[in-house]
Structure 1
Amino acid sequence: MAPTLVFDVNETLLDLSALDAPFDAAFDTPNVRTEWFAQVLQSALVTTVLDTYADFSQIADAALTMVAARHDRALSEAERRAILDTVRRLPPHPDVPGALERLASADLRLAALSNGAPDVLHAQLDHAGLTPFFDEILSAHAVRRLKPAPDPYHMAMDVLGVSARDMGFVAAHTWDVAGAMRAGCPATLLLRSGVVPDPLAAPPDHTATDLHDLADQLLAA
């Protein structure tokens, strides 16, 4: 069991379904929130592949503009703000607070590593009541490269003062798990709804249905 666990944030810890209400109000069409977040991830991955940089808030805003154009919808500033401001106020998935408490009580060192801009990341974790669980809250903005580029994972190792093999990584994104493993970290794929392993990627070191399942596995090891 790695003595330090580092968690991705959006979808891994925080529930993006809270965005459905402002998206539904703005678009009056179902599933636009999932379309938008897929565009956010695509745009973020493109910046990584091209070795360019835009912070995650810029990417989220640009993705919203793209999705609105696809739907031939001119968003008002109030509608745009209602969506983007809700990103700062996402609730945790129900399993998260209790499982993090279990892991912290087992003397594991916990940290968060997100592509989110620092101000948004801290606002998210404060609102969700998760900040006290983490020894470090780290943003890829510090190295101006987004996961799954190796730089954010290496930055986390440097800040935490641990080797790759001693930094377990947990995410509900196959690309994020693949990036952490490529950086040398043992990684867990969290099987949130709709998440399945990528057959083209190296198998994750662990899979877990939720964070309590992960805690069960780690604390029994």
Structure 2
Amino acid sequence: MIIALDINETLLDLSALDEPFREVFGSDSARRAWFTQMLQLSFVGGLTGAYVSFTEAQEAAFLMLASRQGLDLTFADADAMVDRMTRLPSHPEVPAALRRLKQAGTTIVALANSTQQVVEAQLDFAGIRQYFDAVYSADSIRQLKPAPAAYAMVAKNLGASMADIWLVAAHSWDVSGALAAGCSAAFVARSGEVPSPLGPQPAIVATDLDEVVRELLIRTPTTEAPFGHGSPAR
């Protein structure tokens, strides 16, 4: 069993950005509106074949939000806000939950849409990089999740089958993508989120990572050896 963990919202608490967004846009909902717009831009890039990195999508979404509100903001303003993505705390239960997985001998990898540089910085800042055998960025193959190639990249790099991989994420689109690609999946229901009712369903639905880990450890031997050498995809 390989546990592939999404990063933003699944492990890291984006509510740390609420106050900075409130200061700029004057709204408690601005950060969520920005993140939703960012996802839309990145998905459109994937569907049209005009690749857009997560960083580019985040900057563009910030400027779109500003334009809607008639605010005269610049790319420098967008860069300053987006840079905060590398300085997010983990959700409170995350370090202990990852430690339990590591102690059980489970292979743990990060699978993010953010660039390699950003996700490495995120994990370092949150103090949880040491729990991961490898860190993978779908940006490295220019096919972001939920494209099947993003999940297949993990299997290929670790010499495993898709059936060996469990995707853990707080986003229904990520879970749906993993299931469609042939992985198993666990959904972390952060902030009242729910899985999509369409298509295959995640085998685990839990309120936090600690509960997900408890369920995962029931399904895997505690002496499992990691696959491969954990070299990140480039």
Give the alignment's TM-score, normalised by structure 1.
0.95
Q: 1:46 aligns with which of 44, 52, 57?
A: 44
Q: Which residue number corresponds to residue 127 of structure 1? A: 125
Q: Which residue number corresponds to residue 200 of structure 1? A: 198
How far apart are the structure 1 equivalents of 2:25 and 2:98?
36
What is the Cα deviation at residue 194 of structure 1? 2.4
Q: What amino acid maps onto 2:197 in structure 1?
A: P
Q: Which residue number corresponds to residue 168 of structure 1? A: 166
1:138-166: CA deviation from partner (whole Å, max 9, x where unpaired): 00111111110111111111112211111
Q: Which residue number corresponds to residue 110 of structure 1? A: 108
Alignment of 1:134-213 (within 5 A): 134-213=132-211
Classify the secondary structure of the residue corresponding to 2:71: coil
Q: What amino acid maps onto 1:85 in structure 2?
A: D
Judge which range, 92-101 or 19-28, deviates more.
Answer: 19-28
Judge which range, 80-89 or 205-214, deviates more.
Answer: 80-89
What is the Cα deviation at residue 78 of structure 1? 6.1
Q: What amino acid maps onto 2:36 in structure 1?
A: A
User: Structure 1, unaligned stretches of length 5 or more?
Assistant: none
Q: Structure 1's 57 and 4: CA in aligned 2 closer, same or farther, altered over 3 A? A: same
Classify the secondary structure of the residue corresponding to 2:15: helix
Q: Percent identity?
A: 45
How far apart are the structure 2 equivalents of 1:92 and 1:100?
11
What is the Cα deviation at residue 76 of structure 1? 5.2
How far apart are the structure 2 equivalents of 1:75 and 1:88?
21
Q: What amino acid maps onto 2:134 in structure 1?
A: E
Q: Which residue number corresponds to residue 228 of structure 2? A: none
8 Å CA contact retained: 1:168, 1:185: yes
What is the Cα deviation at residue 216 of structure 1? 1.4
Judge which range, 97-106 or 152-161, deviates more.
Answer: 152-161
Q: What amino acid maps onto 1:159 in structure 2?
A: N
8 Å CA contact retained: 2:34, 2:62: yes
Q: What amino acid maps onto 1:202 in structure 2?
A: P
How far apart are the structure 2 equivalents of 1:11 and 1:129?
16
Q: What amino acid maps onto 1:136 in structure 2?
A: A
What is the Cα deviation at residue 82 of structure 1? 3.5
Q: Structure 1's 61 and 78: CA in aligned 2 closer, same or farther, altered over 3 A? A: closer
Q: What amino acid maps onto 2:92 in structure 1?
A: P
What is the Cα deviation at residue 75 of structure 1? 2.0
8 Å CA contact retained: 2:63, 2:74: no
Classify the secondary structure of the residue corresponding to 1:201: coil
What is the Cα deviation at residue 65 of structure 1? 0.8
Q: 1:216 aligns with which of 206, 214, 219?
A: 214
Q: 1:75 aligns with which of 66, 73, 76?
A: 73
Classify the secondary structure of the residue corresponding to 2:122: helix
Q: 1:32 aligns with which of 30, 33, 37?
A: 30
Give the alignment's TM-score, normalised by structure 2.
0.90
How far apart are the structure 2 equivalents of 1:178 and 1:128?
27
How far apart are the structure 2 equivalents of 1:63 and 1:78?
14
Classify the secondary structure of the residue corresponding to 1:127: helix
What is the Cα deviation at residue 124 of structure 1? 0.6
